Amino acid sequence: MVTHITPTEYLFFSGKGGVGKTSMACVHAVRFAEEGKKTLIVTTDPASNLADVFEQEIGHQITLIDGFDNLWAMEIDSDRATQEYIDRAMEPIRAAFPEQMVQIMEEQMSGPCTSEVAAFDRFTDFLDRDSHEQNTFDVVIFDTAPTGHTIRLLELPGEWSHSIDEASAGSGQTCLGPAAAIQDAKHKYERALTAMRDAEKTRFVFVLHPEAISIKETGRAIRELGKLEIRNFSLIVNSIIPPQVIENELFAARSRMQQIYLKDIQGQLPYPTSFMPLLTGEINGIQRLNQVGRIFFDGQSAESVFVNDVSEPSGETLMAPREVIRELVKPNGHHRTVFFAGKGGVGKTVASCITAVWLARQGHKTLLLTTDPAAHLGDVLDSPVGDEIAPVEGQPNLWAVKIDPKAAAEKYKTRVLEDARQRGRPVQAIATMEEELNSPCTEEIAAFDKFIEYASQDVWESVVFDTAPTGHTLRMLELPMDWSKQIDVKVFGSVDTAAADDITKQRFGKVIDMMRDPERSTFAFVMYPEATPILEAHRAVSELSTVGIEPSLVVANMVIPPDQVSTDFSRARRNMQEKYLVEMMERFQLPVAHIPLMPQEIKGLDMLIALGEQIFESTPVMSKN
């Protein structure tokens, strides 16, 4: 039995959100287990769907997969990992210091930064040769979060080491915990990075689609990993349209587009490459994972192995009236912010750009912005988008900006420290603040703070927010509450508790109130009409409701138009989609808008304008290019 990728001790599956990382990681895990290898698959994605693919409960513990005695999985839960991390870091401190000091230290570790650190700490247990867990398995597969966040995680050990070293020379305390208590962790992170650099033991497998944005994202990720001296890469090009379906006009056009990008991949990404065809249905359950393994590893025909229902679809539109959708995004006399959320790669950026262009064309002064580390606004607009607000060329009433977390953090630190000096804070207090602001968590706080600055500007009638992938978006939305609760202890706890920054708290609170007001905010969840994105969105909706935010709209992306169903392949795909379009309506009880599957990538103002008319106006438009 021959595999496309030689099994190594560690396999990382990465890539842009929505390209099939989890599916391909699970297919490999099942194959390795069938070959007799003791295999573990671990996800670091806050929006994990391992359980959905394996169709069983997994969670924050190593769990045996049903039907196997040598295949396990684990979904790292950031909340539980955080508590475990704090308990370990604080154990020696509790025995040696007064209770009041211990309480201050624990408060300093209660922020969102610690949850990211803790998840990484748990993750590195499986890369550490000194760990018992690492020596239990022949193969460990990491199903990583979408690329931008994965790279941020991999960069963190260096930042943490710097933070620990600085704190050791200063107050001895960081947002990661007491410096003295986490020196061992620092060495573990360094060993983990060494393991990732070892091409004999570790391989990074990038999953991508033959599309411009996916290729660009993969190239960027590979360059960033190269800066960390990681250079052991392979590719899986996923969702290639099979030759036998190109008699259909829509799929024939998409196939021609893919052929161009396949050549680009060959020229731009010269790494060992495997290919996976687009299938007629979803990949979930052990039987389906086995079938995909036979297609991917053994070269069997998808037509004979992966069979789906090809009965005639109903042809129903299954979407809300356009006047209902319009009212949910228009300002209507109010300043309105439209948030597009959802699983990585489902089309949030496309939905954001279509909506922003349509609002601008209705005469509303509109700002389009993103905080996603893998920002693609400029790619979809086909116009540069920078770190400062600037007009979008060719579209009056539309401005765009991407928030660079690193740049935002530098400006944020400067502003906070200058404010402290002007308030006459003691030198010791400013030194403590500066030390705290040099911690890795400042970037996320600063990015959200920058969003608040833009969202609070009265000049905009409409603000369209292309959010980061769901799990990270939720953490960001919770930041104002987490951070404002900490200000007293975190920054001023050992200096001047009464001097907490009430203005900052008020700014955060004002924006959270705006998010909770359906007259001023619309939360739209974007998803493919498939099981995993729907389940992920439903979990995210539940999380948002805990902070008083309710969604107003569902956007189904890449919906095959009923008039484009002419082959068994397109019938099977449309049948699958119709089932899930009905589920969206029933599960969310919200209006559903459709973005159609197009013959080519959605890019440029002409396509965005046409789609805006189709989604929000009464006359449908379908490109025939």
Q: What is the pLDDT of residues 355-385, one digit of tens each?
A: 999 999 999 999 999 877 666 888 899 889 9
How much is the average pLDDT of 13-40? Answer: 91
pTM reported for the whole predicted model: 0.79
pLDDT confidence band for 2 (50 / 70 / 90): very low
Q: Are strands 366-370 and 521-527 parallel, antiparallel or unpaired?
A: unpaired
pLDDT at 203: 92
pLDDT at 415: 80
- pLDDT one-digit tens code per residue, 262-316: 999 999 999 999 999 999 888 889 999 999 999 999 999 888 888 776 666 666 6
Question: Residue 145 pLDDT more than 70?
Answer: no
Closest CA to 55 of 535, 526, 525: 535
Q: Which of 115-119, 181-185, 498-502 has the lowest mean pLDDT?
A: 498-502
Element housing 556 (H / E): strand 553-559
Q: Are 466 and 348 in contact (CB under 8 A)?
A: yes
pLDDT confidence band for 157 (50 / 70 / 90): low
Q: What is the mean pLDDT of the chain?
A: 80
Q: Are 9 and 131 in contact (CB under 8 A)?
A: no
Residue 164 or 568, more confident: 568
Backbone angles phi, psi at 131, to 5 degrees: -90, 140
- pLDDT one-digit tens code per residue, 120-134: 777 777 876 555 555
Q: Are 435 and 401 in contact (CB under 8 A)?
A: no
DSSP secondary structure of 601-621:
---SHHHHHHHHHHHHSSS--
- What is the rounded CA–CA span in Å between residue 124 and residue 162? 18
196 CB-contact burial (10 Å; exposed 0-12 / middle 13-18 / buried 19+):
buried
Question: Residue 625 pLDDT more than 60?
Answer: no
- What is the rounded CA–CA span in Å between residue 213 and residue 88? 42
Nearest 5°: CA angle at 552, between 550 and 554? 115
- What is the rounded CA–CA span in Å between residue 155 and residue 48? 21
pLDDT at 46: 64
Q: What is the DSSP letter of 166?
A: H
Question: Residue 514 pLDDT more than 90?
Answer: no
Question: Residue 85 pLDDT more than 60?
Answer: yes
Closest CA to 555 of 579, 586, 524: 524
pLDDT at 494: 37
pLDDT at 244: 81
Longest dimension (CA), the chain: 76
Q: Are strands 71-75 and 366-370 parallel, antiparallel or unpaired?
A: unpaired
pLDDT at 152: 59
Question: Residue 594 pLDDT more than 90?
Answer: yes
pLDDT confidence band for 446 (50 / 70 / 90): confident
Backbone angles phi, psi at 217, to 5 degrees: -65, -40
Residues labelled catalytic: 18, 20-23, 45, 532
- What is the rounded CA–CA span in Å between residue 492 and residue 426? 11
pLDDT at 483: 42
Q: What is the DSSP letter of 444?
A: H
User: Strand runs (DSSP E) across 448-587, as ranges?
Assistant: 462-466, 521-527, 553-559
- pLDDT one-digit tens code per residue, 28-49: 999 999 999 999 999 877 667 8
- What is the rounded CA–CA span in Å between residue 207 and residue 222? 12
Residue 463 or 173, more confident: 463
CA distances from 625 to 55, 59, 218, 404, 407 (A): 40, 46, 27, 35, 40
pLDDT at 605: 95
- With the CA atoms of 600, 605, 610 and 611 taken in that order, what torsion angle do they form, in degrees rounded to the nearest 10? 70
Strands of the 462-466 sheet, one edge to the other: 390-391, 398-402, 366-370, 462-466, 336-341, 521-527, 553-559, 592-596
Q: Are 231 and 225 in contact (CB under 8 A)?
A: yes
Express as a percent the part of the chain with pLDDT over 90.
36
Express as a percent the part of the chain with pLDDT over 70.
74
pLDDT at 355: 97
- pLDDT one-digit tens code per residue, 204-251: 999 999 998 889 889 988 988 888 888 899 999 999 999 888 788 899
Q: How many CB atoms lie within 10 A of CB 624?
A: 7
Q: Are 235 and 206 in contact (CB under 8 A)?
A: yes
pLDDT at 30: 97
Domains annotated for the chain, with CATH where assigned, are 10-300 (3.40.50.300), 333-615 (3.40.50.300)
pLDDT at 458: 85
pLDDT at 405: 78
- What is the rounded CA–CA span in Å between residue 541 and residue 535? 10
Question: Residue 609 pLDDT more than 60?
Answer: yes
Q: Which of 68-77, 488-497, 592-601 has the lowest mean pLDDT?
A: 488-497
Question: Residue 622 pLDDT more than 50?
Answer: no
Q: Which of 54-68, 223-237, 435-449, 555-569 has the lowest mean pLDDT?
A: 435-449
- What is the rounded CA–CA span in Å between residue 528 and residue 533? 6
Residue 245 or 613, more confident: 613
pLDDT confidence band for 392 (50 / 70 / 90): very high
Q: Which of 96-105, 304-313, 411-420, 553-562 has the lowest mean pLDDT?
A: 96-105
474 CB-contact burial (10 Å; exposed 0-12 / middle 13-18 / buried 19+):
buried
Q: Which of 122-136, 534-548, 572-586 has the lowest mean pLDDT?
A: 122-136
424 CB-contact burial (10 Å; exposed 0-12 / middle 13-18 / buried 19+):
exposed
| Token pair of 54 as six digits | 């394996």
How much is the average pLDDT of 176-198? Answer: 68
